[in-house]
A and B are shown apart, each in its own frame.
Chain A
Amino acid sequence: QLQLQESGPGLVKPSDTLSLTCTVSGGSISSSTHYWGWIRQPPGEGLEWIGHIYYSGTTYYNPSLKSRVTISVDTSKNQFSLRLSSVAAADTAMYYCARHGVYFPFDYWAQGTLVTVSS
């Protein structure tokens, strides 16, 4: 059974960089038929797709965040990571990592990690 688990700080200071890692177990991140993505959800609000990465390193980002987002992959560790720079209070959210197939929605999600931006 595929499982995903986020890790990283739960508190980030304004203007700093948010960094999260998603570890995949029970399956290979080097799958040729899947992408690995990040989605966030501010408290009490809806879902926002941040971006995704393919095992080869190909990425696509939401244009609304593109200037601040970097997603990377480490196939040797079966992990992928999110970096969001210059954070502000509006970046406070539950951050989820998830898997989706080519032209297929998100079928496996991690439990989510709450990141609060505050001094």
Chain B
Amino acid sequence: DIQMTQSPSTLSASVGDRVTIPCRASQSISSSLAWYQQKPGKAPNLLIYKASFLESGVPSRFSGSGSGTEFTLTISSLQPDDFATYYCQQFNSYPYTFGQGTKLEIK
């Protein structure tokens, strides 16, 4: 199985900050990576697919980059609604696997 690693598990930031959330794959997954945002009691919501493509309806302050084994989700200017948990997921090969998540907290 491909292991997806997200570190740190918790990140503290303030409204207006630029934030980067890293994700690492245990082997190359090309650009077969997605990012999701999950709020308490809700299902995950797709933000980014194929590492850098913004899902329809997602604010442009979200962006993704990377390929191979190193990926990053960037939020250019944090808004109050962005405090949530973020997961990366590889869909390069079975079984699909998720990172353990990075919780973005208010500083």
Q: Residues of A with Cβ closer than 8 Å to B?
A: 46-49, 60-64, 96, 98, 100, 103-107, 109-112
Contacts and interface: CB of A to CB of B under 8 A. Distances in A.
5 contacts: A48-B98, A49-B95, A61-B95, A107-B49, A109-B43
B49 A64 contact: no
Nearest to B47: A105
Interface stretch (B19-27, B68-76, B86-94): B86-94
A60 B91 CA distance: 13
B65 interface: no
Interface string B72-105: 0000000000000001010100111111110000
A103 B42 CA distance: 24
Interface of B: 1, 32, 34, 36, 42-46, 49-50, 55, 87, 89, 91, 94-101
B44 A104 contact: no
Given A46-B100, A49-B95, A112-B42, 11 more contacts: A47-B98, A49-B96, A62-B94, A104-B49, A104-B50, A105-B89, A105-B91, A106-B44, A106-B46, A107-B55, A110-B43
B99 to A, nearest CB: 7
Contacts, number: 54
A107 B38 CA distance: 13
Contacts of B45: 109
Given A46-B101, A48-B98, A109 B44 contact: yes
B98 A49 contact: yes
A103 B91 contact: yes
A103 B46 CA distance: 14
Between A61, A64, A104, the greatest number of chain B beta carbons within 10 A of the residue's beta carbon is seen for A104
B95 to A, nearest CB: 4
A64 B43 contact: no
A46 B43 contact: no
A47 B95 contact: no
Nearest to A111: B43
Given A60-B94, A105-B34, A105-B46, A46 B87 contact: yes
Contacts of A46: 87, 98-101
